Structure 1
Amino acid sequence: MGWNKWIRQTHRWLAVAFTATVIANFVAMALGTPPMWVVYSPLPPLFLLLFSGLYMFVLPYTAKGRAARAEA
């Protein structure tokens, strides 16, 4: 599996993990005051989603630059 495909697959699984932690957070809040580790549990997947999403966002722009340099 190529580097870009690996990043995309990781991003998808991080999105699943983030969604699950947010749902668990809402369930815990409905049952009472949740512990702090439950409240902050969505943050690690969210930060990883940020970095992988920014990487995928920049890919088309860097590919255009590489293609222009290859033509010259």
Structure 2
Amino acid sequence: MKILDNRGLEPPAPMMRTLKNLDKMKKGEKLAIINDRRPMFLYEELDERGYLHETEPQEDGSFKITITKTGD
């Protein structure tokens, strides 16, 4: 599983970076991203594409979101 650290980036950079990486992945692959905040607009895009996602708050206040590429 690839991990993408988006901390310190201003919106919409984390979302654009995440979607670009997902576009290169195959169905069934997973991508974990670490963001400074909950990516509310990204959730909408992931739901629209039919991707599975799970969010885990981290001790430092960031959020780890594990995305499984499904659908397409």
The normalised TM-score by structure 2 is 0.30
Higher radius of gyration, 1 or 2: 1
* Richer in helix (by share): 1
